[in-house]
């Protein structure tokens, strides 16, 4: 079995509906986290980039990577907090914002005026572009020094319906 084998694991979750832009509780927990977080722009071809939140575990050595695919309201603070919790469990987590570069006014989820506007935009995304974006994110995370080459996927709500790869 190749060490770069990708296991696709889809996690369905029921999400309590809270306003996307009023998640102070999640931001407070992220700010208090001892783990290293960073934003990266993942090249996705044809000049496109996917803004992604990365949470690193507090351990040395290589570890499994988890791609966290957000719900239909975009990359919210609670999704970033989930990525941090994945890192707390000892795994490398990356949460791509699939609304990256939606249009000239909306460079990412946070640029939408409301979570309802982000939700409406999600359903306008081209499925093939979403797949290309996720493949680019998978390639990016697998090349990070902390990554072991094994990647799994967790998706919530809309994100849970986005399996994008087969085992390779």
> If DSSP codes are grouped into helix, strand and coil, which group holds residue 51?
strand
Angle at 123 between CA 42 and CA 29, to 5 degrees: 55
pLDDT-derived band at 6 (thresholds 50, 70, 90) equals very low
The answer as to whether 132 is a domain residue is yes
The answer as to whether 9 is a domain residue is no
Domain total of the chain: 1
Which helix (DSSP H) or strand (DSSP E) does residue 155 occupy? strand 147-155
The answer as to whether 89 is a domain residue is yes
Strand partners, 106: 103
- Indicate which CATH number applies to the domain containing 110: 3.40.50.1820
The answer as to whether 7 is a domain residue is no
Which helix (DSSP H) or strand (DSSP E) does residue 25 occupy? helix 24-32
The answer as to whether 168 is a domain residue is no
The answer as to whether 76 is a domain residue is yes
pLDDT greater than 80 at residue 167? no
Strand partners, 152: 66
The answer as to whether 138 is a domain residue is yes
pLDDT-derived band at 168 (thresholds 50, 70, 90) equals very low
pLDDT-derived band at 21 (thresholds 50, 70, 90) equals low
Domain that holds residue 128: 32-161
3-state secondary structure labels for all residues of 137-148? HHHHHHCCCCEE
pLDDT greater than 80 at residue 13? no
pLDDT greater than 70 at residue 30? yes
Give the count of beta carbons closer than 10 Å to the beta carbon of residue 29.
Answer: 16
pLDDT-derived band at 8 (thresholds 50, 70, 90) equals very low
Q: What is the dihedral angle through the alpha carbons of 125, 20, 86, 145, rounded to the nearest 10 degrees?
A: 60
Tens digit of each residue's pLDDT (9 = 90 or more) over 104-138? 999 999 999 999 999 999 999 998 899 999 999 99
pLDDT-derived band at 151 (thresholds 50, 70, 90) equals very high
The answer as to whether 8 is a domain residue is no
Which long-range CB contacts under 8 A does 14-20 form with residues at least 24 apart? 14/157, 15/71, 15/156, 15/157, 18/78, 19/114, 19/115, 20/73, 20/74, 20/76, 20/77, 20/109, 20/112, 20/114, 20/115, 20/118
């Amino acid at each position: 079995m190749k060490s770069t084998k990708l296991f696709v694991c889809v996690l369905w979750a029921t999400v309590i509906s809270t306003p996307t832009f009023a998640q102070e509780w999640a931001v407070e927990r992220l700010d208090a986290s001892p783990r290293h977080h960073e934003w990266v722009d993942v090249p996705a071809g044809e000049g496109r980039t996917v803004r992604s939140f990365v949470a690193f575990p507090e351990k040395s050595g290589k570890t499994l990577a988890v791609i966290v695919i957000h719900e239909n309201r975009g990359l919210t603070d609670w999704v970033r907090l989930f990525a941090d919790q994945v890192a707390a469990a000892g795994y490398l987590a990356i949460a791509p914002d699939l609304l990256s570069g939606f249009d000239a006014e909306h460079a990412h989820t946070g640029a939408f005026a409301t979570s309802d506007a982000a939700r409406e935009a999600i359903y306008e995304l081209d499925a093939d572009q979403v797949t290309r974006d996720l493949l680019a994110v998978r390639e990016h995370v697998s090349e990070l020094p902390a990554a072991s080459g094994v990647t799994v996927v967790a998706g919530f709500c809309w994100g849970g319906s986005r399996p994008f790869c087969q085992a390779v």
